[in-house]
Amino acid sequence: MRDVLAFDQVSRRFPGGAGVTDLTFAIAPGEIVALIGLNGAGKTTLMRLALDMLRPEQGEVRLFGSPLAALPAAAWAQVGALIEVPLAYPELTVRDNLLIGCRLHGSDPRRVEEALQAWQLAPLAERRFRRLSLGNRQRTGLAAALQHDPRLIVLDEPSNSLDPASVILLREQLLRRAADGAAVLVSSHHLDEVARIADRVLLMNAGRLIGELDTTGVDLERAFFERIRQDDEHRAEVVR
């Protein structure tokens, strides 16, 4: 079974020393992989590399088996993403923004009504995006990212601004789509929430992947911070 997304020793550094180094991992169809780390660990940079928003200085990113540089433009229609904030036209309505997303992905415009119902946005369909609350903006962004049934889903902190009911809705959506064969990469600060849905939880620290977190323990937060502490101490010893 071919991996949907694969990183092979990928590095990208920025002036001042920030960035990511030697990232190697893969996500198979139907797999949910969670990415966790402290602020500044490199999670968003990794996701931007996965979406060709940044180019590696070293290594290779492959999507659907092809290096990004050789990927046909049409293949991006099979990707759904939400990075940092929803991309939307503030003066257009929720429905119009979703319709534009459908057209950009070559999807059936009838999917818009399904998305409005699925994300409980129908009462807000004619409201301009700029007049939405932060939580409703996030739900609109998630609806736009998922309405075309992408084969790869990349979500950066998708539960930001969501109320508990919307978090449950997000969880159900991701589990259903993974069951249908989509590969999911999601970053989050909510360890308990990602532990409910993720097949694997990757730990990131200081721009590197440092292993996986065992989600069977009773205190995930303590285990997370202990792994970060150990890695920080190890890096300090290496520098000496």
Mean pLDDT of 221-227: 90
Residue 207 has pLDDT above 90, yes or no: yes
Task: For residue 82, tell me if it sits in a domain.
Answer: no
- Give 162-200 pLDDT, tens digit per residue: 999 999 999 999 999 999 999 999 998 888 888 889 999
Task: For residue 69, tell me if it sits in a domain.
Answer: no
Residue 132: give the domain boundaries: 5-62+87-239
Task: For residue 172, tell me if it sits in a domain.
Answer: yes
Residue 240 has pLDDT above 70, yes or no: no
Task: For residue 35, tell me if it sits in a domain.
Answer: yes
Which tokens is 59 given? Answer: 């290594």
How high does pLDDT run on average in the chain? Answer: 94
Task: For residue 20, tell me if it sits in a domain.
Answer: yes
**What is the pTM assigned to this prediction?**
0.94
- With contact defined as beta carbons under 8 Å apart, do 176 and 130 qualify? no
Task: For residue 80, tell me if it sits in a domain.
Answer: no
Which tokens is 205 given? Answer: 């620290």
Task: For residue 78, tell me if it sits in a domain.
Answer: no
CATH of the domain at 24: 3.40.50.300
Task: For residue 205, tell me if it sits in a domain.
Answer: yes
Instruction: From residue 43, give the alpha-carbon distance in Å to each of 48, 49, 105.
Output: 9, 10, 25
The owner of tokens 């003066």 is: 91
- With contact defined as beta carbons under 8 Å apart, do 95 and 144 qualify? no
**The pLDDT of residue 103:** 94
- Give 136-161 pLDDT, tens digit per residue: 999 999 999 999 999 999 999 999 99
- With contact defined as beta carbons under 8 Å apart, do 71 and 6 qualify? no
Confidence class for position 33, pLDDT limits 50, 70, 90: very high
- With contact defined as beta carbons under 8 Å apart, do 150 and 182 qualify? yes
Residue 1 has pLDDT above 70, yes or no: no
Q: Which residues contact 77 (CB under 8 A, 6 or more apart)?
A: 104, 105, 106, 107, 148
Domain count, the chain: 1
